[in-house]
Amino acid sequence: MKLLPLSLACAATLIAAPALADDAPAVPSVQHFMMGMSVADINKMTAWYHDMLGFKVEKSLGNTLRFLANGNERIEMVVAPGSKPGEQRPLPPNSTIQGWVQLTMEVPDLDAARAALAAKGASPGAITPIQPLGIRILFMRDPEGNIVELVQKLKN
């Protein structure tokens, strides 16, 4: 009977995150700067990110490139002539396409954020608690189908 807890503890160490080498990173002190996206309609996308998530235009090169900012988050929007929409990604956790999946931003009150977004005409999904990660999340799509995730950290 004493073997079962020991076995579970050993199994847990085997499936835990892999140990990282103590070597110095190739690029020390990396911090998030921005997320870039190619867009078809820069004005429509700018308006949505402003109206729904409070982003403001930080810099603009006419209707071809814009930096939007909200606190520490930045989004670069680029209009690339001849670009075409990519394959629409399924919402996590059902992502079947490798690569970047979503833009994730933290909010202090997910219920209030969801209600405000719905009141403004967005279609935020259901709030899902993920207890093992200590968070609650919701997903939605911007006007061009990109996945936006809002996350709230749970109190201990």
Q: What domains does the chain contain, in order, with CATH numbers?
A: 33-81 (3.10.180.10), 90-156 (3.10.180.10)
Measured CA to CA, the distance from residue 116 to residue 93 in angstroms comes to 25
Measured CA to CA, the distance from residue 134 to residue 152 in angstroms comes to 9
Measured CA to CA, the distance from residue 21 to residue 7 in angstroms comes to 26
What six digits make up the tokens of 68? 């939007």
**What are the pLDDT digits (tens) for 68-89?**
999 999 999 999 989 888 888 8
Give the residue carrying structure tokens 């993920």: 130
Report the share of the chain in percent with pLDDT over 90.
Answer: 62
Give the residue carrying structure tokens 């990173």: 25
Beta bridge partners of 135: 130, 153
Measured CA to CA, the distance from residue 16 to residue 19 in angstroms comes to 9
Measured CA to CA, the distance from residue 139 to residue 131 in angstroms comes to 17
Q: What is the model's pTM? A: 0.77
**What are the pLDDT digits (tens) for 17-44?**
566 666 777 877 777 889 999 999 999 9
